[in-house]
Amino acid sequence: MHLKQPLRRRRGAQLEDALLTAAWGEIREHGYGGLTFEGVAARAHTSRSVVRRRWADKQELARAAVAHQGQQIHTDVPDTGTLRGDVLGLLSHASERLSGMLEMFIFRFGVHFAETGTSLAELRATYLGDRKSSMDAARRRAAERGEIDSAVVPTRISRLPFDLVRNEVIMTLGSVPVEVLEEIVDTIFLPLVQPGPAGDRRRS
């Protein structure tokens, strides 16, 4: 329930930011099924017509809200001096962020998937936008230190630790324990990318 307040005069980016923040708030509270232009307008303290002028339907509005929310996320790539430390830091951050994001997507956007025929992967791509992978910087530094040969690390292997963490979060709906993150890095990821018998077998 939103208390009636005077309409606020905002324009341009400031207005759009307020509307998309309000739309995300409505989805978080009521789910995609409960998203309405009226609810967004009330939360943003503006009129329904202001919202309708910018987005043709609630599918478009929801996608814009997801993309806007994704733009608020900024990841600082840790520089621990080792690839292991950097990747563990990135996975720890990803685990904390993903537990909230995936819960939101799975439970609040179910109606959206059914209505649009889209998937969780497509919604995630909207959320991520054109952000570069945080693994790129960690991998580049590791190559400069001589820990890996970046030329022989395929994209899928670079993504593998995050894919495994995401699977853990989906299955448990919670953050991933440190010991599981260490297992992913030490027994799966590093043997695939660092010089040695495992790396030699992969390259052959």
Tokens of 140: 């580049």
**Side chain identity, residue 142:** A
**C-beta separation of 135 from 87 below 8 A:** yes
Tokens of 165: 């963490």
List per-block mean pLDDT (blocks of 10 residues) for the chain, which spans 204 residues.
55 88 96 96 93 94 95 82 95 88 88 93 89 84 88 85 92 90 96 68 38
Q: Which of 200, 193, 198 is nearest to 87 (CA)?
A: 193
Q: Please report the pLDDT score of residue 170 as a whole number.
A: 87
Q: Please report the pLDDT score of residue 23 as a whole number.
A: 97
Q: Which residues contact 143 (CB under 8 A, 6 or more apart)?
A: 149, 150
Whole-angstrom distance, CA of residue 72 vs CA of residue 62:
16
Q: Which residues contact 4 (CB under 8 A, 6 or more apart)?
A: 42
Q: Please report the pLDDT score of residue 202 as a whole number.
A: 40
Global pTM reads 0.77
The alpha-carbon radius of gyration of the chain (Å, integer) is 21
Q: Which of 113, 161, 112 is nearest to 135 (CA)?
A: 161
pLDDT digits (tens, 9 = 90+) for 24-73: 999 999 999 999 999 999 999 999 999 999 999 999 999 999 999 988 87
**C-beta separation of 79 from 144 below 8 A:** no
Residue 117: CB atoms within 10 Å: 8
Q: Please report the pLDDT score of residue 200 as a whole number.
A: 45
Q: Which domains are assigned to the chain?
A: 12-70 (1.10.10.60), 76-203 (no CATH)
Residue 71: CB atoms within 10 Å: 14
